[in-house]
Chain A
């Protein structure tokens, strides 16, 4: 009942060839997006394509070409670690990009982070006069705040 092995081989080869070409096109799309998009945030959007979907397609083509079962868990581990670590670096780059104002505000539709950043900045400027005066009650009251601005002059 099974189709003959050569037909199955041809189908698997075709599928993995399509996966390889599409995964390479993901990298090309990321490069085009890096060159053409206007600011850091939209370039970050383009940069995630080869990191997640492109790597998935290429690892799947490796697994299809090797035709062994034990290699799939290793490929899955590689992809899972990529999916776990890419958001960390994207979060840090996006956070630093927002704080250092590497973005075009006119391109944003909404900005939910602005209120949080403004509140933290207000709190920091409100805390600043206390640090010179060394009032023990006020310093004890502010101990639950951020610890990075507590250097007394």
Chain B
């Protein structure tokens, strides 16, 4: 059963990561890209969790804790220094 779960979650998370990467690529604003990179970070944490659960080890646990502690610093930093440089203010 675990092999089936691993395959299904691998397909689902690959599609989710592809969607987040598409949103990072097409933007249209910096904050959309920051938000999509946060979602990509959450997807990476989900893959670490599924790897631990299916293979029954704890190698990624400290990485996951560190990810949840310091993962917000990047988006906070970018959101602190964002500025509005658009020509048409309602395009997003």
Contact = CB atoms under 8 A, between A and B. Distances in A.
B38 A51 contact: yes
Contacts of A24: 8-9, 12-13, 16, 46, 50
A64 to B, nearest CB: 8
A43 B65 contact: no
Nearest to A13: B1
A89 B46 contact: no
Main SS class of interface, B? helix
Interface in A46-102: 47, 50-51, 54-55, 58-59, 61-62, 64-66, 71, 74-75, 77-79, 81-82, 85-86, 88-89, 92-93, 95-97, 99-102
Interface of A: 13-14, 16-17, 20-21, 23-25, 27-28, 30-32, 34-35, 39-40, 43-44, 47, 50-51, 54-55, 58-59, 61-62, 64-66, 71, 74-75, 77-79, 81-82, 85-86, 88-89, 92-93, 95-97, 99-102, 104
A93 B75 contact: yes
